[in-house]
A and B are shown apart, each in its own frame.
Chain A
Amino acid sequence: MQHLASRAAHELKNPLNGALLNVEVLRGRATRAGLAAVALAPFADAAATELARATELTEALLALARPVAEPVDLSVALQPLFVLAGAVARAEGSSVELALAPSALGRCALAANAVRGTVALALAGAVRDGAVVIASLAEQGDELALRLNGAAALPAGMGTRIHEAGVRFDEVPRRVTLLFPRAAAG
């Protein structure tokens, strides 16, 4: 997860750079006589969009630093992780996003850091080589399933490391499923 956060922090430079350059265009052209304001709008829009991207990444980084209440609400705990993973994946020619989870999803018995660490590890293996991954959360018996649909095959040895973190793991072609133990009700 540390590696993911570090890579994502680097990715923060892209939207910041986009925003800076478009603001620079605005600054250079704003004083030019005879230039209609409408001609500047696309650069203002681009700068705003890039700042929003930078803000989203910054908030995701901050969210990862905040303590998470236990037992863990997976959709809340994993959301910032997927924001960062999405930014990193895009830079490497892949993509990943987390689909909205069902509202009545139960909570996970594992600690938040263990969950995030395991998911970050699985994402590092599954989101590569141009893979387009849509992740979804669902209840599956006594467990909570995180399905990485469209995943690349995990590298050798990664399954063992996931098991060692206390998470069950299942892999079929183009799909990796992580099964987290559900917290006891109440």
Chain B
Amino acid sequence: MKPGKILIADDERAIAAGLSAILEDEGYSVDVAVDGQLALERLTSDVYGVVLADLKMPKVDGIALLKEMQGREVPTECIIITGQATVDSAIEAMRHGAYDYIEKPLTSDKLTRLKALIPKAVDKFNVKQTNRALTSQIAQLTHYGDLTGQSEAMREIYQIIDAVAPSTASVLILGESGTGKELVARALHAKSDRAKGPFFALNCAALPKDILENELFGHEKGAFTGSTNEKPGAFEMSSGGTLFLDEVAEMAPDIQVKLLRTLESRTVRRLGGKKEFAVDIRIVSATNKDLQKALADAELREDLYYRLAVVEIYLPPLRERIGDIRLLATEFLAQFARENNKPIAGFDDAAMDWVLGYHWPGNVRELKNALQRAVVMAKGSTVSVPDIVQRHLRHPPELSAVNLPAGSTLADARRQLVLRSFASTGGDLQRAAKLVGMSEAELRAELLSLLDGNGRGSTAHGAPKDDDEADVVAPRAAPRGRAKSGSAGAKSAPKAKPKGRR
């Protein structure tokens, strides 16, 4: 049997049967649909390499079929066969993506032409399928739900989500503001058995204490002045699904007690109420606070912490996954260019160097906002440094921190400091030398030695140029996302401060 299944869409049964027999004799597997509607149903339920469609058909004609195929992104190639051949109809068919167009009746020479066209159309379909599969594989390597990242740290997080999502374990997500903690919470919900249930997100820092308590637990009618109706709280509303408590460490101590009680008893009592409601919830919480400090200062109850942090997921800041910056920047640029209808193809070299060298204290959120602005400001077909940098003049890249995990060697520290300083000045040898307290000659020699030692070259500006090179300036053993049970130690290692670099 030849590869590439064929669908014949023709209401003329004698034509469909004859053509089907001829193509089967050629070694193809063939199905027949006697009108355009049935052809569409077949095309969406099965995979065909080629559809041979009559132009005039009941219900859905050949052109409408082509349009539907385009709209539904059916990859099948379509050859139109018609007795109504006109230049206009041929142009319209080709405009809507027809592979070719043949006029009836299929005399011997036209049949020979059709037999020659089919394998070419099948080849084109196969190439498209292969491209689709590759694109999908690439997407799986770089994306996970709404999360984007291909760094080792992010891939570890994807694995943790895969492992943890099906369980009922409470998850505490740690990470700086803007790292995507809510996206992780949503991914946990989407991958869980509770995905069909509600996902309810509540920011504990955004609401005054009384309102937060009311939002969490709800209230009965008359519970307080002005409460004219009963109101279910977040626990009740998210029952059967996932409750995401963002900035959980900001919660007032007495609410923490009530929260702990609810988590232990799996029941909730509304404000002013006597009755207890059973709730079936999975709690995912998040904080950007230093948890060890929050526990030591009694800002977060230790017993609540152990309840919330059955599994911890640490989201590294963007500066610790420099390999993802290019990917994120490119995707945000494409997204905002599309939304703003601007023909922006990418970044110029200096702009990309700046994006890769900047320390992004606001993380992915800051990067996203900066690129939204850059797209709006850009006048040409590429984004340049002034389009992005204007907003960040108060935070020049040379102030970016160098992160060193505990256990790093002095050689690691020296290497990172030199490379990061050089990258953060955009490859300005003189400025970089001044920053690290070396002469230009010493710095040049040091850089050459470091780069030669890694077998890597430098860009025209000397700044990191691609993801691999970017990893040179990233901490080798940067804190990664991890799944721990009952540990408060998932915070980043102490950061090297910009001062005292030597």
Q: What residues of chain A have their CB less than 8 Å away from a CB belonging to chain B?
A: 10-11, 13-22, 24-25, 28-29, 42-43, 46-47, 49-50, 91-93, 130
A21 contacts B25, CB within 8 Å?
no
A28 contacts B14, CB within 8 Å?
no
Q: How large is the interface on B (under 10, 10 to 19, 20 to 34, 35 or more residues)?
A: 20 to 34
- Residues 105-144 of B, flagged 1 when their CB comes within 8 A of A and 0 if not, give 1111001000000000000000000000000000000000
- Residues 220-260 of B, flagged 1 when their CB comes within 8 A of A and 0 if not, give 00000000000000000000000000000000000000000
B83 contacts A13, CB within 8 Å?
yes
6 closest A-B pairs by CB:
A21-B18, A18-B14, A93-B58, A13-B83, A17-B105, A22-B18
CB < 8 Å neighbour of A17 from B15, B21, B57, B108: B15
A6 to chain B, nearest CB (A): 11
Report Cα–Cα, A16/B17, bound state, in Å.
Answer: 14
A182 to chain B, nearest CB (A): 39
Report Cα–Cα, A13/B17, bound state, in Å.
Answer: 16
A10 contacts B83, CB within 8 Å?
yes
Q: What residues of chain B have their CB less than 8 Å away from a CB belonging to chain A?
A: 11-12, 14-15, 17-19, 21-22, 25, 56-59, 83-84, 103-108, 111
Given known contacts A11-B83, A28-B25, A29-B25, A21 and B106 CB-to-CB distance under 8 angstroms? yes
Q: B residues within 8 A CB of A20?
A: 18, 105-108, 111
B186 to chain A, nearest CB (A): 48
List 23 A-B pairs, Cβ < 8 Å.
A10-B84, A13-B105, A14-B15, A15-B14, A17-B105, A20-B105, A20-B108, A21-B19, A21-B22, A21-B106, A22-B14, A22-B17, A42-B17, A43-B18, A46-B14, A46-B18, A47-B14, A91-B56, A92-B56, A92-B58, A93-B57, A93-B58, A130-B58
CB < 8 Å neighbour of A24 from B18, B58, B104: B18
In chain A, what residue has the closest Cβ to B21? A25
Report Cα–Cα, A49/B103, bound state, in Å.
Answer: 22
A14 contacts B104, CB within 8 Å?
yes
Given known contacts A13-B83, A92-B56, A24 and B108 CB-to-CB distance under 8 angstroms? yes
In chain B, what residue has the closest Cβ to A25? B21
A38 to chain B, nearest CB (A): 15
Q: B residues within 8 A CB of A43?
A: 17-18, 21
Q: A residues within 8 A CB of B58?
A: 92-93, 130
Most buried by A among B25, B103, B105, B107: B105
Report Cα–Cα, A11/B12, bound state, in Å.
Answer: 11
A7 to chain B, nearest CB (A): 8
Q: B residues within 8 A CB of A29?
A: 21, 25
B25 contacts A17, CB within 8 Å?
no
A74 to chain B, nearest CB (A): 30
Known contacts A20-B111, A25-B22, A42-B17, then 6 further A-B pairs from the complex at CB < 8 Å, ordered by chain A residue: A13-B103, A13-B104, A17-B104, A21-B15, A21-B18, A21-B111
B445 to chain A, nearest CB (A): 79
